[in-house]
Amino acid sequence: MTSSDRRTVYLDHAATTPMLPAAIEAMTHHLARTGNASSLHGSGRAARRTVEESRETIAAALGAQPSEVVFTSGGTEADNLALKGLWWARLAEDPRRRRILLSGIEHHAVLDPAVWLAQHEKAEIEWLPVDELGRVRPDDVRRAVEQDPGSVSFVTLMMANNEVGTLQPIREIAGLAREYDIPVHTDAVQAVGQVPVDFADLGVDAMTVSAHKLGGPYGIGALVVHKETKLTPILHGGGQERDVRSGTLDAPATAGFAVAVEHAIKHQPDEAQRLAELRDALVSGVVNTIEGAQLSGDPTDRLPNNAHLSFGDCEGDSLLLLLDARGIEVSTGSACNAGVAEPSHVLLAMGYDDQRARGSLRFTLGHTSTRADIDAVLENIGPVVERAKSAGLQNVGRKV
């Protein structure tokens, strides 16, 4: 069998997942129609109807009110809007509110805007500790808040880690923050469709969602914002989306987004069970086959589709490329860091040493994943690890 005949095994669904046929159909249908949702004529009203019906569908699936769903260009913009919007709104109410509480395992879409606020707006970043499983403890959040509650701007913590899959106790943390009238933002990009997510039940003030992680289109996401939460806009123009996010609304993308979210939530319980069984077969197969292989993150309280494994004395990049040559596509962590020869900031924050952090792979499953995909990994992982270790030893010898 030639390389062109080989079936690709795609196990990088945390980076992006293939669009659902129904989402493609919905988006394609609306791409053939003309209309700006801000226009008052018939075509504009038709586009507006598409947007608002999509908003209602997404809100119902996520346990929110339609007016709380603010469409954005994706998860990164939603995170930026949450952090910068909360920062400036809170600062306008009280100039003492300069402390931002977050963990060191957040996605760069949260980390980088926080650092930007520190560099340009004199925000005071306070890093919440994480344990060896990648979890923030509510007691640590309470201790940080109680140092000076009146100086805290907001708390931001991801609902599920995009690299190791550990779930965070967001509901509990939101509850304790509410005691001090401190808003909480959570990046739920990886969680929606994998575990139950209900905005109202979580008790957070803002929540980030992205379509392309759910089988929807690229380039659209949403920040779900509680109706009483104040945000300062970071985009100015036409005043769309409650004056919070200006810009012409992408009606076709909202339609595809809505179909994907509704499908993901409807099938979440059954799909989570199916993916967890495949994930467990992958983890047990690798750990029992490869000496020194270890699972990262919480072994039970984790995303059902995530298997993050470290492999000891070999480089994750080498493992990735060797698997890729065999038609198996995985990740070394966050796709946004692909190609950067640095150990994962998530693993370092969890206390991993540099070598273990470098020698890790993330396998993430999705709606196209099958048992045949798992069997392909288990068939190839042994030879790949051996070759990567040999290459590492040869490189060490040349350096010496």
Q: Is 336 an annotated catalytic residue? A: yes
* Contacts of 214 by beta carbon, 8 Å cutoff, 6+ apart: 17, 192, 193, 260, 261, 263, 264
Q: How confident is the model at residue 335 (pLDDT cuts 50, 70, 90)?
A: low
Residue 343 pLDDT > 90, yes or no?
Answer: no
Q: Domain end: 263, 283, 317, which one?
A: 263
Residue 283 pLDDT > 70, yes or no?
Answer: yes
In the set 92, 200, 325, 336, the catalytic residue is: 336
Residue 333 pLDDT > 70, yes or no?
Answer: no
* Contacts of 11 by beta carbon, 8 Å cutoff, 6+ apart: 328, 329, 330, 363, 364, 365, 369, 373, 377
Residues of the chain with pLDDT > 90, as a percent, come to 89
What is the model's pTM? Answer: 0.94
Q: What is the mean pLDDT of the chain?
A: 93
Say which CATH number the domain at 301 has.
3.90.1150.10
Reduce the DSSP state of residue 232 to 3 states and report it: coil
Q: Using CA atoms, how far apart are residues 110 and 113, in angstroms rounded to an integer?
A: 6
pLDDT (0 to 100) of residue 237: 94
Give the lowest-confidence range in 36-50, 322-336, 377-391.
322-336
Residue 324 pLDDT > 70, yes or no?
Answer: yes
Residues 278 and 392 in one domain: yes
Number of domains observed in the structure of the chain: 2
Q: Domain end: 242, 263, 284, which one?
A: 263
Residues 257 and 275 in one domain: no
Residue 305 pLDDT > 50, yes or no?
Answer: yes
Residues 127 and 176 in one domain: yes
Reduce the DSSP state of residue 318 to 3 states and report it: helix
* Contacts of 338 by beta carbon, 8 Å cutoff, 6+ apart: 331, 332
Residue 357 pLDDT > 50, yes or no?
Answer: yes
Q: Which tokens is 43 given?
A: 């075509």
Residues 252 and 277 in one domain: no
Using DSSP bridges, classify how beta strands 206-210 and 184-187 pair: parallel, antiparallel or unpaired: parallel
Q: Using CA atoms, how far apart are residues 220 and 2, in angstroms rounded to an integer?
A: 37
Q: Using CA atoms, how far apart are residues 160 and 137, in angstroms rounded to an integer?
A: 14
pLDDT (0 to 100) of residue 368: 97
Q: How confident is the model at residue 392 (pLDDT cuts 50, 70, 90)?
A: low
Q: Using CA atoms, how far apart are residues 178 and 161, in angstroms rounded to an integer?
A: 23
Residues 311 and 347 in one domain: yes
Q: Using CA atoms, how far apart are residues 224 and 65, in angstroms rounded to an integer?
A: 9
Residues 30 and 166 in one domain: yes
Q: Using CA atoms, how far apart are residues 331 and 10, in angstroms rounded to an integer?
A: 10
The CA distances from residue 71 to 219, 245, 365, in Å, are: 10, 8, 27
Query: DSSP character for 238?
Result: S
Q: Using CA atoms, how far apart are residues 144 and 121, in angstroms rounded to an integer?
A: 21
Query: DSSP character for 68?
Result: G
Q: Which domain holds residue 107?
A: 21-263
First vs last Cα of the chain: how many Å apart?
40
Q: Is residue 3 part of a domain?
A: no
Tokens 């926080």 correspond to 114
pLDDT (0 to 100) of residue 2: 43
Secondary-structure percent of the chain, ordered helix, strand, coil, rounded to 5: 45, 15, 40
What digits encode the pLDDT tens for the residues 21-41? 999 999 999 999 999 999 999
Q: Is residue 285 part of a domain?
A: yes
What H or E segment, with its residue span, contains residue 29?
A: helix 21-31
Reduce the DSSP state of residue 176 to 3 states and report it: helix
pLDDT (0 to 100) of residue 389: 86
Mean pLDDT (whole number) for 217-229: 97
Amino acid occupying residue 159: M
Say which CATH number the domain at 54 has.
3.40.640.10
pLDDT (0 to 100) of residue 137: 97
Residues 324 and 242 in one domain: no
Q: Using CA atoms, how far apart are residues 133 and 296, in angstroms rounded to an integer?
A: 7
Residues 168 and 190 in one domain: yes
Instruction: Give the number of other CB atoms < 10 A from CB of residue 266.
Output: 12
Residue 348 pLDDT > 70, yes or no?
Answer: yes
Using DSSP bridges, classify how beta strands 206-210 and 221-225 pair: parallel, antiparallel or unpaired: antiparallel
Residues of the chain with pLDDT > 70, as a percent, come to 94
Q: Which tokens is 245 given?
A: 């996010």
Residues 274 and 215 in one domain: no
Q: Which tokens is 275 given?
A: 């993916």
What digits encode the pLDDT tens for the residues 248-268? 999 999 999 999 999 999 999
* Residue 338 Cα to chain centre, angstroms: 15
Tokens 């925000």 correspond to 123
Residues 117 and 229 in one domain: yes
What digits encode the pLDDT tens for the residues 113-165? 999 999 999 999 999 999 999 999 999 999 999 999 999 999 999 999 999 99
Greater confidence (314 vs 208) lies with: 208
Residues 242 and 350 in one domain: no
Q: Using CA atoms, how far apart are residues 372 and 278, in angstroms rounded to an integer?
A: 10
Residue 310 pLDDT > 60, yes or no?
Answer: yes
What digits encode the pLDDT tens for the residues 179-221? 999 999 999 999 999 999 999 999 999 999 999 999 999 999 9
Using DSSP bridges, classify how beta strands 99-103 and 124-128 pair: parallel, antiparallel or unpaired: parallel
- Name beta bridge partners: 102: 127, 156
